[in-house]
Structure 1
Amino acid sequence: MKLKTQASTTLKSKLSSTLKSWLPILQSGMQDLEETLGEFAKDNPYFDIKSKITNNFSSYKKNRNLPKGSRVGQGGGLSDSIENFCIQEESLEESLLAQIIPPLFPTQTSQNIALKIIENLNEEGYFEGDIENMAKECRCSSEEIEKIRKRFAYLDPPGIGAKNLKESFYFQLDNMDIKSEIFELCSKILEDLEHHIHFKDECLYKEAMRVIQSFKNPPALDFYEKEAVIIPDILIRQESNNIQVQINEKYYPGIEINLHKEKNLKAKEEFIKIKTKEARDLVDALEMRKATLYKIGIMIVEYQYEFFTGGEIKPMKLKDLAQEFGHAPSTISRAISNKFLECSRGIFPLKVFFATAIDEEIANVTIKDFVVDLIRKENKQKPLSDTKILKLIEEKFDIKIVRRTITKYRAQLNIASSSERKKLYKMSL
């Protein structure tokens, strides 16, 4: 009996020490996992972190002389994303500042005005400053401000500094090397772009529309903040009716314990013992992280089986998983935070599968998917209003919600209002 108690106490002690490192490791997303492990490594000379992300990036760099567009390895996209993620790119402001030079901006005054214009560009690259106030600040006329602003038509990216979409297109047209006949027709079409079809009998109509359709909208599109590379923790593999859950081992960091370093250190025996134990605890914690996420993956597939076979996401609560695991909901919340799952339908944050319920059977994610589908199939001559979308949702799901909920969902999905969509459809751009 005594022996059993001692064994139980030893196991509990081992698990307790592992848990100290398990929780922060569990909470870290795949992109941050190496950094978290690095914090443990700062004062421990007995282990090294083996980065598989770095190794994959290195192998990509060795192949960087491949033709443009070539991809490395199966899929290839992740290595491309990692390079984009690791290399700091020039910002829009930095790019424009480098172009504020003679002969386009020959004087100090013109350069100062240009700098003020840059300060008053929004994230899309449109000018939204107050000309009158700028003129007072720069001690010049409003006409001088406008004169300098219109020189932005010759900067990169084309269209930058325009006040609106139409002017941006004119800026971009001025910056193009095309035949004068096409230039003139493009100018006419831009005057009444919503009714461009009226020019379809012009012999150069198709060429002119190809030029217009090549314009950037918004002009600062190429400078939008790039999304960070997403590395899923859980992989769902499907073959026929067979669904398998896997942990993404490919980019998982490894821990290598280096006991040979003892020979080179004049450390006390007790210090060596403590630090090597900490290193082994980290290995155990990393394995516990994998096991926890694997079990979460299994349970998501079990609860959301219909989603993985083409259906919709159903409401799922953190406490459902917490009860299965025997952990507090806060621990499960840590486990799914900043984690992603990849399946045949795409890559999804784990938190998506714990959608807020509108009622017992319908999740808000399901409603959003339905809205997206409605917009995709709507009559472009008569786009659906929020009121009409609400009515269709109530008929489809037999529920009652308010119109402002639809407006909120549409905003979250970055879908324009019905009147704005109608304008965009008319442009056919």
Structure 2
Amino acid sequence: MKLSQKLTAKTKLNQTLRSWLPILQASGDELKETLEPFLEKNPFAQLEPNPKSRSINFYNDLYKTSISDAIESNIIYKESLYEKLYNQIDDRLFPSQKSKEIANLIIESISDEGYFEWSDEKFANFSKEEVERVRARFAYLEPIGVGAVDYKESFIFQLNDLCDDDEIYRLCVEIIEDFENISKFTKRKNYDAAMSIIKKFKNPPAIEYMDSDILVIPDIFVYDNDGAIEVAVNDEFYPHINIDIDGVDEKSEFVSSKIKEAKDLIDALEMRKSTLYKIGLMIIEYQYDYFFGGDIKPMKLKDIADDLGRNPSTISRAIQNKFLSSKRGIVPLKNFFTAAAAKEVSNAAIKEFLLNLIKNENRLKPLSDEAILAMIESEFDIKLVRRTITKYRKMLNIASSSERKKLYAIQG
């Protein structure tokens, strides 16, 4: 009898887990479609909008609590093309106030497709030569290609980022400048290699920002409640499973099995919320300083899995395509699981230090990767290899020392 009870309990848990894992892995906007296959053959359960949910068109009724304030301000977020560009107008490429002013006006003159459109009114206080000198620096901003006057110039901007072979580069330029007669290039040496690069170009350059329907919905909120950091799960976008058994015989084997299936799904949704809530609490514990302006510290999936009594693969599923919202913005949960470069030093801390080195370097003699390596090893008392520094630099979209020297010369 005891063995039978244990097997029944284990079977129930396994059934719930089978439902739970895909539900856990689904992002907030995928929950409804993830649940639908489980319920499509269940006549007694229906998916309904969450009764706690409000219209996402910037709610008419404002909650008064601090968590609701956080939801109100952060529930819908997608970095726009213009935010992306404005955030890159810094001293590295635009050192003077005048260059920043021109750069901001250029951004205002960029179409939704990413092309620059001249305006006599906007640039009345500047010469065309001044504007063009500043606009040339947009070739080094992301998304690459934005700020060009037409697709050919956009392709040249993108080519600079994708090709480091001089011969192929020159052929690509020829093809771009004479696309109307592209057939005449087919027998040229390196034609296939050149076309392979050209096929990677984005046209229009801002195409990835043109879908305004893509939204980022935070799964976890971290907010300041009178000086205390607290966490809450955003359950307003969870669909509601309604079980309707009016007028049916609950003792029927078919009915009872379908009711059980629906309840297992409800349990799975609750397990999802519970797991995300616990992950949120552990992130606060491990990354407390981050929420007050500090760096993200090294944190492994195994650390949090051990603390929660879960398998690391389960935690990995839980953080995929999930986001956390705090006063520092909306970030993917996976960002908090930064790998350690060594000891207690995180990749994020090293990247921040590298950025500061570049920002303050001698423009007449930019720092080489070897020099940066030596400074980082001295600062953090760790051993790295040069290719690690090169990788971080490229991840941060920082040009090589020779390329930076050319950029600084352009800036004057």
TM-score, structure 2 length as denominator? 0.62
Deviations 1:190-234 (A, max 9, x none): 68x3799xxxxxxxxxxxxxxxxxx96145454333684222222
What is the DSSP-based 3-state SS (H/G/I as helix, E as strand, rest coil) of the residue aligned with 1:367?
Answer: helix
Bigger mean CA deviation after superposition, 25-34 or 45-54? 45-54
What is the DSSP-based 3-state SS (H/G/I as helix, E as strand, rest coil) of the residue aligned with 1:237?
Answer: strand
Q: Structure 1's 6 and 38: CA in aligned 2 closer, same or farther, altered over 3 A?
A: same
TM-score, structure 1 length as denominator? 0.60
Q: Which residue of the partner structure matches residue 232 of structure 1?
A: 218
Aligned counterpart for 2:326 among listed residues 343, 354, 360: 343
Q: How does 1:5-404 map to 2 (within 5 A)?
A: 10-51=8-49, 56-57=54-55, 59=57, 75=72, 78-79=75-76, 172-173=117-118, 176=119, 185-186=127-128, 188-189=129-130, 193=133, 217-218=147-148, 220=204, 222-225=206-209, 228-239=214-225, 241-260=227-246, 262=248, 269-378=252-361, 383-404=366-387
Q: Structure 1's 190 and 230: CA in aligned 2 closer, same or farther, altered over 3 A?
A: closer
Q: Is the 8 A contact 1:46 1:261 kept in 2?
A: no
Q: Structure 1's 382 and 271: CA in aligned 2 closer, same or farther, altered over 3 A?
A: farther
Give me the whole-angstrom Cα distance separating, in 2, the residues matched to 1:327 and 1:181.
63
Q: CA deviation at 1:54?
A: 12
Deviations 1:61-120 (A, max 9, x none): 999xxxxxxxx99645645759x9xxxxxxxxxxxxxxxxxxxxxxxxxxxxxxxxxxxx
Q: Is the 8 A contact 2:76 2:215 kept in 1?
A: no
| Count of residue correspondences | 312
Q: CA deviation at 1:252?
A: 2.5
Give me the whole-angstrom Cα distance separating, in 2, the residues matched to 1:33 and 1:181.
52
Give me the whole-angstrom Cα distance separating, in 1, the residues matched to 2:122 and 2:60.
43
Q: Structure 1's 419 and 157: CA in aligned 2 closer, same or farther, altered over 3 A?
A: farther
Q: Structure 1's 354 and 180: CA in aligned 2 closer, same or farther, altered over 3 A?
A: closer
Give me the whole-angstrom Cα distance separating, in 1, the residues matched to 2:270 and 2:59.
30
Q: Structure 1's 381 and 335: CA in aligned 2 closer, same or farther, altered over 3 A?
A: same
Q: Which amino acid aligns with 1:229?
A: L
Give me the whole-angstrom Cα distance separating, in 1, the residues matched to 2:50 and 2:403.
46
Q: Is the 8 A contact 2:113 2:205 kept in 1?
A: no
Q: Structure 1's 415 and 180: CA in aligned 2 closer, same or farther, altered over 3 A?
A: closer
What is the DSSP-based 3-state SS (H/G/I as helix, E as strand, rest coil) of the residue aligned with 1:256?
Answer: strand
Gaps of 5+ in 2: 62-68, 81-110, 137-144, 150-203
Give me the whole-angstrom Cα distance separating, in 2, the residues matched to 1:216 and 1:336.
32
Give me the whole-angstrom Cα distance separating, in 2, the residues matched to 1:224 and 1:425.
30
Q: Structure 1's 218 and 73: CA in aligned 2 closer, same or farther, altered over 3 A?
A: farther
Q: Which amino acid aligns with 1:366?
A: A
Give me the whole-angstrom Cα distance separating, in 2, the residues matched to 1:345 and 1:27.
25
Q: CA deviation at 1:334?
A: 1.3
Q: Is the 8 A contact 1:352 1:365 kept in 2?
A: no
Q: Structure 1's 349 and 181: CA in aligned 2 closer, same or farther, altered over 3 A?
A: closer
Q: Which amino acid aligns with 1:399?
A: I
Identity %: 46
Q: CA deviation at 1:56?
A: 4.5
Q: CA deviation at 1:281?
A: 0.6
What is the DSSP-based 3-state SS (H/G/I as helix, E as strand, rest coil) of the residue aligned with 1:31?
Answer: helix
What is the DSSP-based 3-state SS (H/G/I as helix, E as strand, rest coil) of the residue aligned with 1:399?
Answer: coil
Gaps of 5+ in 1: 64-71, 85-155, 161-168, 197-214
What is the DSSP-based 3-state SS (H/G/I as helix, E as strand, rest coil) of the residue aligned with 2:342?
Answer: coil
RMSD: 4.3
